[in-house]
Amino acid sequence: MKSTIVSFVRRALHDERGQVLPWLAMGFVGMLGMGGLTVDVGRAYVVHAQLQNYANAAVLAAAGLVYNTSTTTNATTEANAFSGSTGDENASSSTVGTVTTNVYTVCLNSLQPPGATCPATKPPPNAVRVVEQTTVPTYFMNMLGVHSLAVAATATASMQGQSQPWNVAIILDASGSMSTTDTNCGSVTEFQCALNGIQAMLGSTNPCKSGVTSCTNAAANFHVALFAFPPVSTSTVTYENACSSYSTPAFQIYTLPLTTATSYTPIEYQEPNTGRNQSGYVNFTGTYEVTLGASDADANGFVSDYYSPTASNGLNTTSSIVKAVSGCMKPISQEGNGTGGLNGAQNGGITYYASILYAAQAALTAEAKLNTGTNNAIIFLSDGQANVVAATNDFPTSPFTAVPSTAGLNTLTGTGHYPDTNDECQQAIIAAQAATTAKTQVYSVAYGSEQTGCYTGSGNTDTFSLIATGKNQSFTLSQLTPCVTMENIASSLNNFYSDYNQSGSGSTCQDASHTVTSLSDIFLSIAASFTQPRLIPNTAT
């Protein structure tokens, strides 16, 4: 049998009468199949690479809008605009065919602040995922019954990458109402909840430029300063930025910077000892800027050493701003706490917005000159309304002397214009709009803002009451509320955020432009404005 088979094969291979053609045809088909597999699969790989580029472009364009809920400007609309689908920026049907794009906004625990996880119910997204799909027709493999190959590419991105060139002034409400416990924020005080939000922002914003090994102020992209109201004595500010010999800071009354100031310097005032049964004068100096004069700050009080890539929370514990927001800063224990005279605030409220907004803008103006090519931003957080009154031991009711006299304003106007106790909320809006006019991005965070208030001096009917018509929501004096004030302090509705879930506030001051409502998530959302998007693994959880 074996010899018979061998004889047949030998005859077939050497037969010259044409019967070998079927064998050759079968071999040729196999070779075409194998070659077709190589050609068609190779083309599919090329298409996949193109799809991956489209997915990367779409997801990086959308990452900064992951917190937005606007129907026209959100992560989904932006991703679709830069996808490879028909009509989009990267559409190229001639090379990859018709592309289907799917956009998903997701919440990843790995992007949450240390110790936090995404809520089980309606978690706010912090990343964007894009899937690009198409079908590649085959040529050679088609003869084997394989008519097309499905190709897909996926990309995932978030913000929290390298910071862009920004100078940021964070303004924090340190008034007595911030000592209230917020059960919606882990049962810590409102002040601590706000500090936690600032920590989350700093820990997710790497200030270093690419390739920089020593992130000094001069070498950094991102510079941040901390402001708080009411201001504290310059003699006790180290309690807050260095934790040195801590005792209760001496909260000073309102220093009044000029609206045209181009740098910030604490103003020294001199007041007669009238009403104290004493003679002579008393001098005092208060600073709104907590980081001004800190050992690691530049000439304008801005720091860039807050970040540590090796720390679990991303914070450098030796930085003055980190010390301040990690326990050194304290709110005033209760409204009315003070030391008497202009140094104290013993009658009425102590919240006045306009002066600190002018102070922060002045510091930013100087910082932008120090760091050419940078942008400016203010982040303003408060839980209440402007409510200071012209009481003997509160706001000055008569002229007093600034030392030197050109350092700041030294009397109330009595007209509702800055500085005055009439129309304080209007003055805050005017101050914030002046910053916006100076090309500063102003973000406002309403923390349980009330629906009523801003009534101090509301009996004044002069025409100045309608100077600030508002960039976001129009109003009249009788309609102006803390919520509307905070909304109009922001440069745009995209810059307005609200945590209206603050326990006990009863606030209905809602933000219609973002998905986030907790302070930590709000600060992460704002941080997205200052950082570059980055690709992250699709397997990230």
190-203 and 519-527 are packed helices; what angle lies between their axes, rounded to 10 degrees? 30
Statement: residue 340 has pLDDT above 80? no
Residue range 100-110: mean pLDDT, rounded: 87
Residue range 157-172: mean pLDDT, rounded: 89
Confidence (pLDDT) at 398: 47
pLDDT digits (tens, 9 = 90+) for 205-228: 889 877 666 777 888 899 999 999
Residue range 322-335: mean pLDDT, rounded: 80
Confidence (pLDDT) at 242: 86
Confidence (pLDDT) at 352: 85
- HSE-CB at 420 with a 13 A cutoff on CA atoms is 17
Statement: residue 6 has pLDDT above 70? no
Task: Name the nearest CA neighbour of 169 among 367, 411, 395.
Answer: 367
Confidence (pLDDT) at 271: 62
Measured distance between the N- and C-terminal CA atoms of the chain, rounded to whole angstroms:
66
| Percent with pLDDT over 70 in the chain | 72
Confidence (pLDDT) at 459: 44
Alpha helices in 387-513 (DSSP H): 424-437, 482-489
Statement: residue 346 has pLDDT above 90? no
Statement: residue 348 has pLDDT above 60? no
User: Could you tell me which CATH number the domain at 168-510 has?
Assistant: 3.40.50.410
Statement: residue 84 has pLDDT above 60? yes
- Sorted by sequence, the CB contacts under 8 Å of residue 462 that are 6+ apart come out as 415, 416
Residue range 106-128: mean pLDDT, rounded: 79
264-273 as b/e, with b when 16 or more CB fall inside 10 Å? bbbbbbbbee
Residue range 279-299: mean pLDDT, rounded: 86
Phi, psi of 298 (to 5 degrees): -80, -170
Statement: residue 458 has pLDDT above 60? no
Residue range 414-424: mean pLDDT, rounded: 79
Which of 87-91, 154-158, 494-498 bottoms out in mean pLDDT, i.e. has the lowest? Answer: 87-91
pLDDT digits (tens, 9 = 90+) for 182-191: 888 889 999 9
Residue range 443-450: mean pLDDT, rounded: 90
319 pLDDT band (50/70/90 cuts)?
very high
Instruction: Enter the tokens of residue 137.
Output: 């027709």
What is d(CA 92, CA 86) in angstroms, rounded to the nearest whole number? Answer: 8
pLDDT digits (tens, 9 = 90+) for 230-244: 888 888 888 888 887
SS3 (DSSP) at 130: strand
Beta bridge partners of 104: 129
Statement: residue 269 has pLDDT above 70? yes
Statement: residue 470 has pLDDT above 60? no
Residue spans per domain, the chain: 21-158, 168-510
pLDDT digits (tens, 9 = 90+) for 248-260: 666 666 678 999 9
User: What is the pTM for the complete model shown?
Assistant: 0.79
Confidence (pLDDT) at 233: 83
Confidence (pLDDT) at 338: 40
Residue range 500-522: mean pLDDT, rounded: 80
33 pLDDT band (50/70/90 cuts)?
low
What value does the mean pLDDT of the chain take?
Answer: 78
What is d(CA 385, CA 348) in angstroms, rounded to the nearest whole number? Answer: 13
